[in-house]
Amino acid sequence: MPDAIDREARATRWVAGLMALLGVGLAGWVAAPIARQRLAPPPPIASFGVPEAAAGCDPELTDPVSGKGVHVGRGARVAYLTVPPSSGPHYELPAPLRRFYLAGDRPPVEVLVHNLEHGYTVVWYSADLPAPQVEALRGLAARLGADERTAKFVAAPWDASYGRFPPGRRVGISRWGATAGYRLLCGSVSGAVIERFLAAHPATDSPEPEGA
């Protein structure tokens, strides 16, 4: 009888050990792809949209700047001197920390101009930008927002009542630098173009770079 009990105990321990080993293996099998996914590098910025050569961009424009610290009342409409604006009077509060907007939830232009004052790059896209391009811009906004070096980035639909983009141009990129404004108008979304623009005009070059 004791031998039978010992054999049963050993068998129980063997089964328990096998189950534990299988459990560890299964957990590792499940966790490994998750760990690899977490460790995978983010997609290159240039992989979003079309290549630079296909973006159909005009030469970059440099604008005089004005309106630093000039706030207008909520609901007021500013007649900006350029399309899209690269500086000017604006509402008292900038848009909250969000990277991408659609037409149904976009902030007023005067709100996003305040973001420009704080060092943001704003990419404005026209209502006729093809849906795949809009999705490329959405993905790019998420990619840039995940990196603190490029986090000051917003993409939003352009309000054509403030003026129209030139023919064939559906994307406008703008920055408010400390001494000048910068604009780039393109036909298509290009991560490569936007990456070069961000490198040339970092968020530290702005009237209020410490602003959130």
Average pLDDT score over the chain: 88
Mean pLDDT of 65-94: 97
For residue 38, the model assigns a pLDDT of 63
- For 167-195, write each residue's pLDDT tens digit: 999 999 999 999 999 999 999 999 999 99
Residue 88: count of CB within 10 angstroms of its CB: 25
Detail the DSSP E strand segments found in the chain: 61-63, 71-72, 90-91, 121-125, 153-157, 171-176, 181-186
Q: What is the pTM of this model?
A: 0.82
- For 106-163, write each residue's pLDDT tens digit: 999 999 999 999 999 999 999 999 999 999 999 999 999 999 999 999 999 999 999 9
63 has which bridge partners?
A: 181
Q: Torsion over CA of 131, 134, 138 and 144, rounded to 10 degrees?
A: 150
Mean pLDDT of 95-114: 96
pLDDT at 52 over 80: yes
